[in-house]
Structure 1
């Protein structure tokens, strides 16, 4: 499993290795073993465009994920999925939550990977499960 990190927007100082590491770990532990995962750090306008195109919502958002596998059980070595994170949105959310931008980006990275692995938050129970799993990774990262 390879994690490719792209920076479209100018970024503040972030630990890119930690972002790659948490994405890879979450992917591997949720069955995404072969191929690559792209994590794209970008801005509000890109997320707004993607949100409008793919979800019909004309507003920026914090994170969007795209599962690019051909089938649910694809064993190819290509790109499995992409996670797009808006750094300005993440910065605002981090300030609201009183945590660092790094912590917020790690949280959003795991959240995006979990979507590619099949998690959703269409119900309250599914939301709680996804948040619990996301926090497990970020908590372990901060205690390591």
Structure 2
């Protein structure tokens, strides 16, 4: 029973990571090609992002309990850097979500769409930095 719970928690965490990185990368690239015709896909991603982020926080805490909180060495440094990156990701994501709301309210203002491109880029890059740090925490 414990093994299946462990596998389920890890799998949900990894799938959530894939959604965050993949979704933000696709939207970043789509915004590089041109202005959004509709804010609906952005709104759907934002709703999914915040739901997945909540699940990832809980599964991440479960993983942390399973592996133990590192206190010294490379794992402790990776843990500290990962926490800072997660806080930065959350801050960028709040600004991004508010920008999407503003985009919907104003009916596609180009300056907002340009800013969104950078916010999705930051989300993708921060998420991509967090993944190897998670690997260091998991494997040592």
TM-score normalised over the length of structure 1: 0.25
- Higher strand fraction: Structure 1 or Structure 2? 1
- Higher helix fraction: Structure 1 or Structure 2? 2
